[in-house]
């Protein structure tokens, strides 16, 4: 059996100050995320940041929290369940899908052990980030290797590094934009907002910005947009350092001031909606744009657990999964696979 471990960032267990503090402490203690030397960073993190930010972020989480929990977790769970369902209907008993979070629960270690205990000899780890960054993708790799250090019998392992230019991903994004435009008409500008990074990370070799730009280029071509019809920006700046520019918030302000009436926002660096898309863009970004003089901001949702997108996602994974004859030994699978040469009378028992 093949195990697929989908891994997303992680999210607080509740929209409360203590739960957000626990989450931020784990997340922001990872040297992959904040590269400042520990001796300098520790007092800043445990002083001003963890004293003030949790209450503010908890308020933001409360504005988007769903009955079932944090949007990031709920959408990721639905995506995992939808993917499992598609594999089950095609090849029952051959693929087991589990969800894990890099920070918080369910942990990467728990997910890997669940796949091993269910008998998976191959494990495909799939970070839910279309574009690679050391701060996100590599941080998941670290968690996988930390867990596997404790295993004697390693599985065959595939690590899906990125899928930022996969035609099925680009097509899924383009379809979601077109569907929005069919319902609501077209905007004056399409704004593509990606999560930001410190500019220094990119200067030191993180390929994230180049991968975002490639996603943008392919999507813009698929939609057939002219240069004056779109703009790419980076959001979620954290701390005083320079991050990738242009900043989403500054751009929305400028567009509003310049008399642009309607902006549609899409976040092609996020697979599932979360605090950064729902609160920062759909609520906060809209406020900024309208205050600056804009008329309408439409937020176009992430792909989340859309059925057609899950079929695309499965096709992306299928290309990377080392399918082989071992798979076919699963009795449930052989029962449903079409036979290339139907048994002749002689061969039949
Ligand atoms: C401090 C540095 C940060 C870096 C570097 C960073 C990179 C990065 N993050 C995502 C995706 C997500 N980030 C989310 C929340 C979030 N991000 C940071 C900081 C950095 N991110 C913080 C402090 C937070 C927490 C919320 C807050 O207090 O503002 C989320 C949403 C989580 C949720 O629960 O909904 C996602 C998703 C990417 C893709 C990325 C680099 C490419
Ligand atoms: Fe982030
Ligand atoms: Fe944010």
The tokens describing 323, both together, are: 């399918």
Q: Is any ligand 1 atom within 6 A of the Cβ of residue 276?
A: yes
Given a cut of 60, whether residue 6 has pLDDT beyond it is yes
pLDDT at 45: 98
pLDDT in tens, 40-78: 999 999 999 999 999 999 999 999 999 999 999 999 999
CA of 100 to the centre of ligand 2 (A): 17
Q: Is 319 annotated as a binding residue?
A: no
Report domain extents, the chain: 2-162+306-334, 167-300
Q: Examine domains 2-162+306-334 and 167-300 and report if their fold is the same.
A: yes
**Whose C-alpha lies nearest to ligand 1, atom 24?**
24
Given a cut of 50, whether residue 145 has pLDDT beyond it is yes
CA of 280 to the centre of ligand 2 (A): 11
The ligand 1 atom at the shortest distance from the C-alpha of residue 56 is: 28
Nearest to 157 by CA among 320, 315, 313, 314: 320
pLDDT at 327: 56
pLDDT at 323: 83
The ligand 1 atom at the shortest distance from the C-alpha of residue 272 is: 37
Q: Is any ligand 1 atom within 6 A of the Cβ of residue 274?
A: yes
The better pLDDT of the pair 323, 104 is held by 104
Helix (H, G, I), strand (E, B) or coil at 298: strand
The ligand 1 atom at the shortest distance from the C-alpha of residue 57 is: 28
pLDDT at 114: 98
C-beta pairs of 321-327 under 8 Å, 24+ apart in sequence: 321/2, 321/4, 321/122, 321/124, 321/158, 322/122, 322/156, 322/158, 323/2, 326/121, 327/1, 327/2, 327/91, 327/94
pLDDT at 328: 45
The tokens describing 100, both together, are: 């894990």
Identify the band that residue 326 occupies on the pLDDT scale cut at 50, 70 and 90: low
Q: Which pTM does this prediction carry? A: 0.93
CA distance 27 to 48: 16
pLDDT at 322: 83
**What is the residue-averaged pLDDT of the chain?**
94
pLDDT at 336: 43
Identify the band that residue 21 occupies on the pLDDT scale cut at 50, 70 and 90: very high
pLDDT in tens, 190-236: 999 999 999 999 999 999 999 999 999 999 999 999 999 999 999 99
User: Does domain 167-300 fall into CATH 3.40.50.1400?
Assistant: yes
Given a cut of 80, whether residue 330 has pLDDT beyond it is no
CA distance 302 to 259: 27
Q: Is 195 annotated as a binding residue?
A: yes
* Topology (CATH level 3) of domain 2-162+306-334: Rossmann fold (3.40.50)
Q: Is any ligand 1 atom within 6 A of the Cβ of residue 201?
A: no
Residue pair 285/248 in contact (Cβ under 8 Å)? The answer is: yes
CA of 196 to the centre of ligand 2 (A): 8
CA of 329 to the centre of ligand 3 (A): 47
Given a cut of 80, whether residue 317 has pLDDT beyond it is yes
């Amino acid at each position: 059996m093949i195990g697929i471990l989908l891994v997303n960032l992680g999210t607080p267990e509740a929209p409360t100050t203590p739960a957000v503090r626990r989450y931020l402490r784990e997340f922001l203690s990872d040297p992959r995320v904040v590269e400042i030397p520990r001796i300098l960073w520790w007092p800043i993190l445990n002083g001003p940041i963890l004293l003030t930010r949790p209450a503010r972020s908890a308020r933001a989480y409360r504005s988007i929290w769903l009955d079932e929990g944090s949007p990031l977790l709920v959408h990721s769970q639905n995506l995992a369940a939808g993917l499992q369902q598609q594999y089950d209907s095609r090849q029952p008993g051959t693929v087991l899908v589990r969800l894990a979070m890099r920070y918080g629960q369910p942990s990467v270690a728990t997910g890997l052990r669940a796949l091993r205990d269910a008998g998976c000899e191959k494990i495909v780890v799939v970070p839910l980030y279309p574009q690679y960054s050391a701060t996100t993708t590599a941080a998941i790799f670290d968690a996988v290797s930390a867990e596997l250090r404790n295993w004697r019998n390693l599985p065959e392992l595939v690590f899906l590094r990125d899928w930022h230019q996969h035609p099925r991903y680009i097509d899924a994004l383009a379809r979601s934009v077109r569907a929005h435009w069919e319902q609501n008409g077209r905007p004056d500008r399409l704004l593509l907002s990606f999560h930001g990074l410190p500019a220094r990370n990119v200067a030191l070799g993180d390929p994230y910005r180049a991968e975002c730009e490639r996603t943008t280029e392919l999507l813009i071509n698929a939609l057939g947009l002219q240069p004056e019809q779109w703009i790419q920006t980076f959001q979620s700046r954290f701390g005083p350092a320079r991050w990738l520019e242009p900043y989403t918030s500054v751009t929305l302000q400028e567009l509003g001031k310049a008399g642009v009436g309607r902006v549609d926002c899409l976040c092609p660096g996020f697979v599932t909606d979360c605090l950064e898309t729902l609160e920062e863009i759909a609520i906060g970004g809209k406020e900024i744009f309208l205050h600056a003089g804009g008329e309408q901001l439409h937020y176009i949702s992430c792909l989340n657990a859309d059925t057609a997108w899950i079929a695309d996602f499965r096709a992306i994974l299928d290309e990377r999964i080392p399918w082989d004859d071992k798979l076919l030994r699963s009795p449930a699978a052989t029962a449903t696979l079409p036979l290339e040469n139907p048994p002749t009378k002689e061969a039949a028992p």
